[in-house]
Amino acid sequence: MERTDRERAAWSPERYAEGMFGHAVPTEHERLRLLESLLDGPTRARLTALGLRRGQDVLEAGGGAGSVARWMAGQGARVTVTDLDTSFLTGLAADGVRVLRHDLYADDFPPASFDFVHTRYVVMHLPDPGLAVARLAGWLKPGGVLLVEEPAAFPVLDSPHPAYRTLMRAYFAHLERSVGSDSAWARSLPVPLERAGLAGVGLDARLRPLRGGDGEARWWRLTLEQARLAMVAAGAAADGDFEAAYRDLACPDFHDLSLAVFAAWGRRPA
């Protein structure tokens, strides 16, 4: 989904932080914690494989509910975690993590600040993802590693299950209009890391299966419900569309795919 210049210009941190993913939404913390439980295993394995170790200076950009930052601090790294809204992250200070409210475009770090930079499910929501990757790469020390993990929506958009497919197509169209998110951007990886001047660039992609009633299905129910009022008000979907999809997501006999997850990494030349 390609965004127009007008749509890019309309994006602001407030548009994201005060919308369906805002921390004031009553179920947002639960939704983020559930997502962490689904994603953290592969993320930790990839960080370990790329050489995360004790004593490194690490940036977690867009920290969500804080599980990755907490885990990296537990590995002995010196961790800085940032977000537009840090209300879910304040408890990390007790784990020795530096917590900063930070706009990736407007706020800077000195060049060569970090041995490791990680971001997950953040860049797709930004108006210029390539610029975001270049800025993240610019904060690396020589030899430092950037790891970017982002989802792509194509498996759910092509679902063979009509109710699930109908609501997912409506949801991602609404997400593009309301937040500016690009649900296809991840498929451009790893090219943005190469353009940012990183070396040893690699890519991995995996599909996330979904079964009615499992953790993935529960995460989708929370995610969709947070968008429901706005989508119905905008005429993007009807209440009946949500109820039909929720029946799929609750049925143990329902099997399908969720999002595809792309992980790309590269190292700043020494």
CATH of 5-152+181-210+261-267, one of 3.40.50.300, 3.20.20.70, 3.40.605.10, 3.40.50.150: 3.40.50.150
Instruction: Give the tokens for residue 84.
Output: 């537009």
Residue 4: band (very low, low, confident or very high) from pLDDT cuts 50, 70, 90: very low
Question: Which pLDDT belongs to residue 16?
Answer: 54
pLDDT digits (tens, 9 = 90+) for 81-126: 999 999 999 999 999 999 999 999 999 999 999 999 999 999 999 9
Q: Quote the CA–CA distance of 260 and 35 in Å, as a whole number.
A: 14
Give the closest residue to 159 by CA, choosing from 258, 234, 16, 72. Answer: 258
pLDDT digits (tens, 9 = 90+) for 168-208: 999 999 999 998 999 999 999 999 999 999 999 999 999 99
Question: Which pLDDT belongs to residue 23?
Answer: 85
Q: Quote the CA–CA distance of 65 and 51 in Å, as a whole number.
A: 24
Question: Which pLDDT belongs to residue 7?
Answer: 45
**Cβ atoms within 10 A of the Cβ of 259, count?**
22
- Write b or e for each residue in 127-138: b if 16 or more Cβ atoms lie within 10 A of its Cβ, otherwise e: bebbebbbbbbb
Examine the pLDDT at 253 and tell me if it is beyond 80: yes
Give residue 101's identity as a one-letter amino acid code.
Answer: R
pLDDT digits (tens, 9 = 90+) for 14-63: 555 556 788 889 999 999 999 999 999 999 999 999 999 999 999 999 99
Question: What residues pair up with 118 in beta bridges, in sequence order?
Answer: 60, 147
Mean pLDDT calculated for residue range 238-248: 98
In the chain, where the domains are located? 5-152+181-210+261-267
Residue 162: is it exposed, middle or buried by C-beta count within 10 angstroms (0-12/13-18/19+)? exposed
Question: Which pLDDT belongs to residue 1?
Answer: 38
